[in-house]
Amino acid sequence: MLQRVIKLVFGRIEREIGRPSIWNLPDPDFPVWAERPTLSDGFFSALGERRIQVRGEIASCDGKLIRFVDGSVSEVDVIVWATGYRPAFPFLDSETLGCEPSALELYRRTAHPTRPGLYFIGPTRVLCSLWPLSEQQAHWLVEVLRGTVELPSRAVQLRQAVDVARTLPVFCNAYVLDLRRDFR
């Protein structure tokens, strides 16, 4: 029943704003209603007003200079890495990441348990809006970097790490409470 409703909603949205490819975004290779959807009421208006730019794959980073696979180079202040439909971190080699992106396991869904200093904000399946949850992850990470929140031992992090691509979506309120408990 829910998938039928989602299919109707996405069909209407697609008729109104078009396929993702007309906005320089990749079209999914599966029906959008077959997966857990994420909607934003401001994304397409921001694209239309050019407040954000969609760019292709990153080939390399050198400080603020970003070289894209298509050969273009841009100086940037911020990168929002929105991989879209599949976990992907092509700017991190497998040795740095320590696994395939689809098998990434993170402590508190943020900290890499075997790569100190490697953190991720957002690659979390959720049953709420991802943005407020990502903001809470960012607050938690700031406190980790400040030293206010101390990460547990590597063994504890490994034991409590969660496969961010394959686990069931997180109940946001419970997850945020877990993050906030660390502040004590």
Is residue 85 scored above 60 in pLDDT? no
CA angle 181, 182, 184 (to 5 degrees): 75
**Where along the chain do its domains lie?**
2-39, 94-181
Q: Give the model's pLDDT for residue 175.
A: 83
Q: Nearest Cα to 107, choosing from 147, 146, 153, 166?
A: 153
Q: DSSP code of 165?
A: T
Classify each residue of 9-26 as buried b or exposed e, where b means 16 or more C-beta atoms within 10 Å of its C-beta: eeeeeeeeeeebeeeeee
Tokens found for residue 66: 């970003």
Q: Is the entire prediction scored with pTM above 0.75?
A: no
Q: Is 159 left (phi over 0), alpha (psi -120 to 50) or beta?
A: alpha
Residue with token string 């994420």? 38
Q: How confident is the model at residue 84 (pLDDT cuts 50, 70, 90)?
A: low
